[in-house]
Amino acid sequence: MNKVLKDSNSDIVLRRLRPLASSAALMNRRLSRRNKLLHSMRVKHGHSIPPILITGHQFTMISQHQTAAREYLQAYKLMPDDPLINLCGGTALINLSLGLRLQNKHQTFLQWLAFLYNNLRLCGDIIGTTNFIL
């Protein structure tokens, strides 16, 4: 076996072997395990901010912006003065307002502006722009 691996023709041998599962199937299996873990964390610790934010991030990664915004709004209800939650909620609403199927784009646009302004207000002391007016 060792000689086969060192041989330059070993690529030919390995090319003929079919993989047991495609990379997409392996990715889906890993994602489904992660989703089950996140779901169990959300059920067990329903009012905990980190699982809510992680779930929102995952929905953002797969471009489900409405569900991501719902998760971030749930976190906002629990901790409205957190700059990260305001930033995440605002960006999810930006992505949602850019969608084609949304009927109330102007209202969603104003909501993300409010979230981002709130984020700016909360981070104003850090940034040094407390007198910034939109």
Q: With the C-alpha atoms ordered 67, 72, 75, 80, is the resulting torsion angle positive or negative? A: negative
* pTM summary value: 0.64
CB distance 53 to 85 below 8 Å? yes
CATH topology for the 49-134 domain: 1.25.40
Q: How far apart are CA 72 and CA 108, in angstroms?
A: 14
Q: What gap in Å lies between CA 102 and CA 54, rounded to an integer?
A: 25
What integer best gives the mean pLDDT of the chain? Answer: 76
State the pLDDT at residue 23. 57
pLDDT in tens, 11-21: 555 555 555 55
Where are the domains positioned within the chain?
A: 1-44, 49-134
